[in-house]
Each structure stands twice: as structure tokens, then as C-alpha cells.
Structure 1
Amino acid sequence: MTGSGHGRLVDVPVSDHRTVGAAAGLLGVTTRTLHHWDAVGLVCPSDRSAVGYRLYTSADLARAQRVLIYRELGVPLDEIAALLDATADAGLAALRAQRAQLGTRIDRLQRMADAVDRMIEARQSGISLTDEEQLALFGPHWQPTWVEQARDRWGETEQWAQYAERAAGRTHAEWARLTADTETLHADLATARRSGLRPGTPAANALAERHRASFTPYFDCTHAMHVCLARRFVTDPGYTEFYDSLAPGLTVWLSDVIAANAQANGVDPATATWGSRRPPGDDAERTGSPA
């Protein structure tokens, strides 16, 4: 029988006497460990050789094995001695209490393992929701395969790393809140377009900032990056169809609003770039982000 790096539990010979080194090798511990146990009175060699070497009897080794078992259970050394010397009833009660504590630890470790599994899945897929939950939250137009496609295309980018990190621990309720906020934003954009709100006005700039901030739960979006995304809105048929379905001409209007707001914040829309990386293009909205 083998412990987890704390010593090897073996069948102890009935009549053997072992030196410290031999006993340590048999038990799978260091001689320093046995010297320490001897010093604190936990396991003391019962015999001496003719030349004065300490010798461990089979009873001593059996006691040492019990120490290893208790140590594997996480019992502190200062409590092990009391357990070894306790009466049968007291020892049994202590073992039952230790078993209950182990059950609690197992449950906690299982919850931790489940949480790590969810984080692994989220980092791999970019979203910790089932296909059914995604469709229920994001609507019938949503295709769960978009997330995997986006990961395959942009999985090495800084923005995807941010997205996966922020999405990994997000609960269903948090996704629902983000989706509701996005729907409200889209409705406000459509209303502003229908009302004839001009790009560059304070109200339009405020809407542009709300739109840019809507990316924050997914990745950091600068004004220049926002402009790059807006260019995609007017060139990608998927984006154009989506935004114009909310209000006629919304796509071009939103692009103009974003450009005007970027210029008000010191960014030239004509020369704005994503930076050292290409923009995520049509995958920005298709990873659960509210573009």
C-alpha cells in the first residue's frame, strides 16, 4: 500500500528489528522524519543493538504505519499521538469524525473540480451556456456554432483571451442581464435614428459611448477599435441586415455616430486602426457580444 508522497505502507515483518535507515526505507519516509517522531514521542524505537543503534520492532513499525495513515487523512501530528493511545471507543469516535471531515473535503473538492471543468469549457468555447440556453437568451437568429467559428479564427488574439476570461464565470442570470441591456441599447439606437438625431450631437455621442461600453463585458474596446467595428457594420451584409431591421438606415447612421464620437475623443476615423491585430470583424457580435 502506498501513500501520496507521505510514506509507503507495507506489510511489516513479524519478528524483524530494523535500524532507522532500514525502517525509513521500508516505510517510505526519511530518517529525519523518524528522528523527529522519536523526539516528540510519537514513534520511538523499542530496542537497541549491541553497539547502541536504535532498532524498530514490528510493533514500532506498525505504529509508524498508523501514523502515516492518520497523516494521509490530514490529522496534525500533535493529535495523532492522542489517537494512537486512545481507548478503542475514543479512537473509533475520532475516526468517524475524521471520516465526516473527509466527506466534507471531498464535496468541496468536487465542487472545485466542477468549477474548473466549467472554466475549461468556457475557455475552449468562449461561452459557458448550453446551445439551448444560448438560443433562449440570444433569440432564434442566434447560431451556437458562431462561437466555435470565432474561437477558431480569433482564438490567439488578445481580445479573445479577454472575452474567454470574462465569460468563463458568467452565470445564466448575468448573461440574461447583458442580453436585456443590449436589447435596450438597440431599441434606443433605433428610436434615435427614427427621430433624426444628428451624429456629433451630445445625445448621439452619449449613445455611441453606450454602444462602445457594451463591449466592455467582453473585451476592452478603444475609440479606434470602435471605428474599425463600425466599418464592418456597413460592409458586412449580416450586420447591415441586422441593424437595418431595427430601423431603416440604422447601420450607416450608427457608423457615422461612432465616427463622430471618436473624432470628438481625439481619434481620426479615416486613419483609425485596430492596432497590432486585425479587428474581429463579423465575429464580434457572434460571440455573445452586443455589437
Structure 2
Amino acid sequence: MKVKEVAELTGISVRTLHHYDEIGLLSPGRRSESGYREYSDVDLETLQQILFFRELGFPLKKIKDVLNSPSFDRKEALILQRTMLLEKRSRLDQMIHLVEKTIQHAEGEIHMSNEEKFEGFDFRHNPYEKEARERWGDKAVDQSNAKLAGMSEEEQKAMGEKMNAIYRELAALRQESPASEEAQAAIKEWYDFLNSNFGSYSLDAFKGLGQMYVADERFTKNIDKFGKGLAQFMCEAMGVFADRIR
């Protein structure tokens, strides 16, 4: 399909498609003899992925990083996108309901207590737990939560310090190849740490977790506090580790 046909099919402007090409986000696999861009079915699948991520608020640079990752898996991404979109829909439904009640309160039709005015806002839950249950099942998450609940404050602090030490070690290596001996030794330490403290991680689950580090900007933001680009580096190193061990 030519660029104009893709624009008509998707509702995206020709200018936007040209921009995606220019920044290397979506470059058509071929061009016609006259030099026009021609999009294949594979290109259209990639465009669909881009639009899903855009709907979830991902910046173009982050989308490019995710799609270019050697460990990127389209089905894995679709599962994560579905989970995040369902979560987004649920939260929007809560906000709409709260706004409607607030309008009724402002017009004197109902009375809202202070508690009711903020019933749609809940920042106390773990934002990653839903994704974890979707990917690895209730058993793994419940085991992890139970173990944490049974630890003393000192034990939790020691575990946190160990985790931060591994992050710092990996951050110091992030300019190296994710497949290097040093990087793989450090990522094995991360694999062993997760299995010792958060239940049993299969190689597929470990690789999937790495993909989430770059697919979910919440993970990326927290991990990259130890060094810009660390989340991407860990994602690639975890993919290499999982593929080598199989």
C-alpha cells in the first residue's frame, strides 16, 4: 500500500507517516520504481503496535526503543497492551462516575461526603501487581506478597539494599554489550535474586519481565534512576540470558 492509502485506512496523516519514516520508527520495507513508499502487511502490523502504545501515552522514542529491542515479542506486547488498556478503561469509568456525582452535588441534587469526593482516587495499590498476576499467575504473586509480609523491617531493608547494589552493578556495565560475560554474570545475579525473594521465575517469565521494563514507562522511570538506559540494557541482557540457558 502507498502512503496515501495507509493514511486513508488508518486516519493518520501522510505527514505523520513521513515523520515516522524520518525518525526510523516505521520505515516501509520497500519503494516503488518511482520512489514512492510501499507498506507491506508486516509494516501495517508494526503501525498497529505503534498506535496501541501511543494510545497508552508512550512517547515515540520509547516506542522505538521497545520495537527495536532484540527481545521484543509482538504477542507479549499485545497481552501487556490489553492489560494496560483494560486498567485504563476501568480507571476512566471510575473518574466519569465520580465527575457525574460531583456535578449532581454541585447542583444540589445529592450530598457528597468528603470521603465520597475522593473515592475514585486510589494511589495505595501496587500498579504492577495486575500485570504480574496476568503474566505469572496468582500463585507467584501471592507467594511473593506472603514472603514480604513475613519479613522483619531489617530483613526488608537488607533485601532492598541488595537489590539496589545489583542495579548499580548493572548500571556500571550498561555501556557494554548485554551479551558480554560481565553483563551476563550480573544479570544472572539478578535472576537468582528474584528467584530467591519473589517466587520461582521461569526463563520465559524472566524474559517477559525484561520486556516490561521497557514497555511500561513506570518500570523504565524507576530503573533508569540508577542510570539512563539501564532498563533497555537489562531487557536485552535478560533476553540473552533466557535464550542461552534454554
Q: State the TM-score, normalized to the length of structure 1.
A: 0.38
> Whose helix fraction is larger, Structure 1's or Structure 2's?
2
Structure label with greater radius of gyration: 1
Q: State the TM-score, normalized to the length of structure 2.
A: 0.44
